[in-house]
Structure 1
Amino acid sequence: MPRVSFAPPSMCLTFLPVLGRLLPSLPPTVQDVDVPPLFREQFILSGYRPVGLSWRCYVLSLLQIHNETLNVWSHLLAAVCVLMRFTMFTILRGGGILGFRLQGPEGQGLSVDVSSLPLVLYVFSAVTYLSCSVAAHLLQSHSEQAHYSLFLLDYVGVAVYQYGCALALCLYSAEAAWTRSMLGQIFLPAAALLAWLSCTACCYAKLHFRRPYPLHKKLCQVVPMGVAYLLDISPVAHRLATCSWTNNSALPLHFLQVVLFLLSAFFFSCPIPERFSPGRYDIVGHSHQLFHIVLSFCTLAQQEALFRDFLWRRPALVRDFGEERLLLACASFPCLTLCCAMTALAMRRRARTQRTKEQR
Structure 2
Amino acid sequence: MVCGYIITMLRAGRDPLSSVDVSSIKHLSFLPHLLRVLPSLPTLPRPQATVLTSDVPALFREPYILSGYRPAGQPWLCYVLSLFQWHNESLNVWTHLLAAAAVLLRLGLFVSGTAPDISSLPLYLHTLSALTYLSFSASAHLLQSRSELAHYSLFFLDYVGVALYQYGCALAHYFYCAEEAWRRSSLGPLLLPLTFLLSWLSCTSCCFAKARYRRPYPFRRKLFQMVPSCLAYVLVISPVTHRLLTQPWNQPVLQLHALHMAFLMQAAFFFSCPVPERFFPGRCDIMGHAHQIFHVFMVLCTVCQMEAVCQDFMERRSSMVDVHGEWSFWSAGGSFFVLALCCALTAALMSKRVQRQLEKEE
Aligned counterpart, 1:304: 307
Selected match of 1:345 from 330, 345, 348: 348
* In 2, Cα distance between equivalents of 1:147 and 1:325: 39
Matches of 2:84 and 2:279 in 1, distance apart? Answer: 29
In the alignment, which of 257, 280, 283 is matched to residue 280 of structure 1?
Answer: 283
Q: Say whether the 8 Å CA contact 2:170–2:195 is kept in structure 1.
A: yes
1:313, distance to aligned residue in structure 2 (A)? 1.6
Q: State the alpha-carbon separation in 1 of the partners of residues 163 and 183 from structure 2.
A: 23
In structure 1, C-alpha distance between the alignment counterparts of 2:320 and 2:263, rounded to whole Å? 29
User: 1:320: which partner in 2?
Assistant: 323
How many residues align structurally?
A: 324
**Is contact 2:74–2:146 with CA below 8 Å preserved after alignment?**
yes
**Structure 2 residue identity aligned to 1:188:** L
Partner of 1:295: 298
Q: Check conservation: 2:45, 2:77, Cα contact below 8 A.
A: no
| Residues 71-150 of structure 1: pairs in structure 2 closer than 5 A | 71-92=92-113, 95-96=114-115, 99=116, 113-150=117-154
Say whether the 8 Å CA contact 2:178–2:243 is kept in structure 1.
Answer: yes
Q: TM-score, normalised by structure 1?
A: 0.87
Asked if structure 2 preserves the Cα contact closer than 8 Å seen for 1:175 and 1:239, the reply is: yes
User: How far did 1:273 drift?
Assistant: 0.2
User: In 2, distance between residues paired with 1:350 and 1:290?
Assistant: 32
- Cα distance, 1:26 vs. partner? 2.0
Distance 1:42 1:137 in 2: 16
| 1:162 and 2:183 are equivalent in the alignment | no
Instruction: In structure 1, give the amino acid aligned to 2:90.
Output: T
Per-residue deviation at 1:74? 0.3
Residues of 1 paired with 2:306 and 2:332: CA distance?
19
C-alpha separation between the residues in 1 aligned to 2:108 and 2:196?
27
Q: Which residue of 1 aligns with 2:55?
A: 34
Larger Rg: 2
Provide the C-alpha distance between the structure 2 equivalents of 1:292 and 1:265, rounded to a whole number of angstroms.
10
For residues 94-243 of structure 1, what are the structure 2 equivalents within 5 Å?
A: 95-96=114-115, 99=116, 113-243=117-247
Measure how far apart 1:21 and its partner are. 7.1
TM-score (norm 2): 0.87
- Aligned letter for 1:331? G
Q: Residue 319 of structure 1 aligns to a residue in which SS?
A: helix
Gaps of 5+ in 2: 1-6, 9-40
Unaligned runs of 5+ in 1: 1-12, 15-19, 100-112
What's the counterpart of residue 74 of structure 2?
53
Q: Is the 8 A contact 1:258 1:298 kept in 2?
A: yes
* Cα distance, 1:128–1:241 mapped onto 2, change above 3 Å: same
Question: Does the alignment pair 1:249 with 2:252?
Answer: yes
| Alpha-carbon distance, 1:24 to partner | 5.0
